[in-house]
Amino acid sequence: MTGAESVVVVDDVSTNNNGFNIGRLTLNKPKALNALDLEMADIMLKALQKWQTRSDIVAIVIDSAGEKAFCAGGDIVSMYESMVEAQGQIPAFLETFFETEYTLDYTIHNYNKPIIVWGSGIVMGGGMGLLCGASHRVVTETSRLAMPEITIGLYPDVGGSYFLPRLPGKSGLFLGLTGGQMNAADACFVGLADIMVASSEKTNLIEQLVNYTWGPTDQNSLQEAVNTILNDLAKPESEPQGNIEPNMALINRLCEADYVSDVVNAILSSDMQNDKWLSKAQSTLAKGSPITMHLVFEQCKRGADMSLAACFRMEADMSCRCGESGEFQEGVRALLIDKDMAPKWKYKNVEDVPKSEIEHHFTSPWSKESHPLSSLQ
Ligand code: QUE
């Protein structure tokens, strides 16, 4: 499945020494902002599994076609169609999609050689899932990272339950509730990216990987080699001004309460008029799904002391419940199908959501043994 027409271009790039190769995956649906569909996730997972056992492969590069986006999210239009069809049941397509996507993300987290993700342009939702677990997470001056699912009545999945509560202070909860966008400086500050490189350097990076004198292939040596190559390309002095670090004290104060309604009301009633970034975060929350507000709060609480594998299993449960409840379907309808931008959420305010509704999202549709992600360690 290689070739320019493939939705993911899979390439073995030969290096200039000792028969070593670089595995390269290029997301190739630039008109859809490289939003991840089932076929793409499947191709990526199979290629990564194959490369994991090949001793000539020294590193992986994951990048994308087009300047605009690394990956804008998941293919939520296909998910919408399956939800319409299933009429309140959990669509089989969603189960398969999330099983494949989370297995792919998990594989990236636990890979046995360096994975460089070129996170230039839009990196949101499903794109964050691909970036987050990589050993070498590159951002550029055009990077815009976010977990914007509050807008579509979903919740920050793809490992969000694991990584959001582990960000500095309350920044993860804030980013999940508001869909707040991070630039390269923010991403490096919170620890979701490792290094900032100019977007014009991508070809140069591939050249450096090809020309490098690859030697010992134990995992540490390979990681160190990629560190060296990336550090040579980095230009830390060109990092933009970030928005999170200067607002950290405020974010922590707004998000400190024990109840989600208190946190939401604190953010909504704070005067943010003088800060463009904060006002945008505030208005995204104001328009967002009240069910999602609860899910974000609860996943951050539960995920804080869960393993990565347990987080992905919990998210498979939650995502399927979202596919059943109608809130996610309504969010996609308003944003991408009818484009009226006016979702009719099931509850008007965060206070109106019954506890039982949220609890249901954390009950598994499967027994422990039959869970599709039961084999993740
Ligand atoms: C929130 C989201 C997503 C989003 C917009 C949001 C998301 C997603 C897309 C998207 C973008 C472009 C496409 C596409 C999907 O937009 O997850 O198919 O071509 O995938 O506000 O969570």
DSSP secondary structure string, 278-335?
A: HHHHHHHHHHS-HHHHHHHHHHHHHHTTS-HHHHHHHHHHHHHHHHHHSHHHHHHIII
Ligand 1, closest atom to CA 151? 21
pLDDT for 239 equals 81
Residue bearing the CA closest to ligand 1, atom 4: 73
pTM: 0.97
What SS3 state is found at 164?
A: helix
What is the share, in percent, of the chain residues with pLDDT greater than 90?
96
229/232 Cα distance (integer angstroms): 5
Question: Hey, what amino acid is at 80?
Answer: Y
From the CA of 72, how far away is ligand 1's center (Å)? 6
pLDDT for 236 equals 73
Mean of all residue pLDDT scores within the chain: 97
Question: Where do the DSSP E strands lie in 33-177?
Answer: 57-64, 69-71, 115-119, 122-124, 136-139, 144-146
237 — pLDDT class (breaks 50, 70, 90): confident
H or E stretch covering 25: strand 21-27
pLDDT for 28 equals 98
pLDDT for 4 equals 55
Ligand 1, closest atom to CA 29? 19
Just list the catalytic residues: 74, 126, 149, 157
Superfamily of domain 8-361: 2-enoyl-CoA Hydratase; Chain A, domain 1 (3.90.226.10)
Q: What is the mean pLDDT of residues 61-74?
A: 98
Write out pLDDT tens, residues 245-290. 999 999 999 999 999 999 999 999 999 999 999 999 999 999 999 9
125/196 Cα distance (integer angstroms): 20
72/125 Cα distance (integer angstroms): 7
Give 63's strand partners: 26
Question: Is pLDDT at 13 greater than 80 in this prediction?
Answer: yes
Question: Is pLDDT at 25 greater than 90 in this prediction?
Answer: yes
Write out pLDDT tens, residues 101-159. 999 999 999 999 999 999 999 999 999 999 999 999 999 999 999 999 999 999 999 99
Name the DSSP letter for residue 165.
G
From the CA of 57, how far away is ligand 1's center (Å)? 33
Domain boundaries, the chain: 8-361
144/192 Cα distance (integer angstroms): 12
Q: What is the mean pLDDT of residues 356-362?
A: 98
Question: Is pLDDT at 1 greater than 50 in this prediction?
Answer: no
pLDDT for 17 equals 84
88/111 Cα distance (integer angstroms): 37
